[in-house]
Amino acid sequence: MARLVKVGAGGGEIDWHDALKDLRADDVLLLEPGFYEMPPDILLSDITIKGTGNLPEETTILGYLNLAADSQFVNLENLCINTNDDSNSLFVPAEANTYLTLRNCLVKGYGNDTAVLAANGKVTLELYSTVILNGSVSLFADSDFRLEMNDSSIENIAEDFSALALEGHGTAIISNSRIYGSIDTFTKSNVELDLNNSVVDTMLLQGQVWLNMLNSKILSHDDTSLYITDESWVNIIASNFEGGIYLDKKPSVIIQNSRISRLVAVNDTQITLINTIILNHADFQDNAKCNVRRSTFNGGNEYQYFLALSDHAQLEGHDLILNSNGADLAVKDWAKMHASVLATSDESILVECSRDAKVQILGMKWTTRKN
Kindly give the parts of the chain with pLDDT less than 50.
Answer: none
In a domain, 54, yes or no: yes
Q: What one-character DSSP code corresponds to residue 273?
A: E
Largest CA distance in the chain: 90
In a domain, 353, yes or no: no
At residue 335, the pLDDT reads 98
140 three-class SS: coil
At residue 1, the pLDDT reads 67
In a domain, 221, yes or no: no
In a domain, 343, yes or no: no
83: CB partners within 8 A, 6+ apart: 63, 64, 89, 107, 108, 109, 110, 116
In a domain, 46, yes or no: yes
At residue 112, the pLDDT reads 78
In a domain, 27, yes or no: yes
Count of CB atoms situated within 10 Å of the CB of 18: 10
In a domain, 205, yes or no: no
3-state DSSP percent of the chain in helix, strand and coil, to 5? 0, 55, 40
At residue 2, the pLDDT reads 81
In a domain, 68, yes or no: yes
H or E element, residue 17? helix 16-21
- In the chain, the number of structural domains is 1
Domain containing 60: what range? 1-178
CA gap 298, 146 in Å, rounded: 40
CA gap 48, 64 in Å, rounded: 16
91 in Cβ contact with 65 (< 8 Å): yes
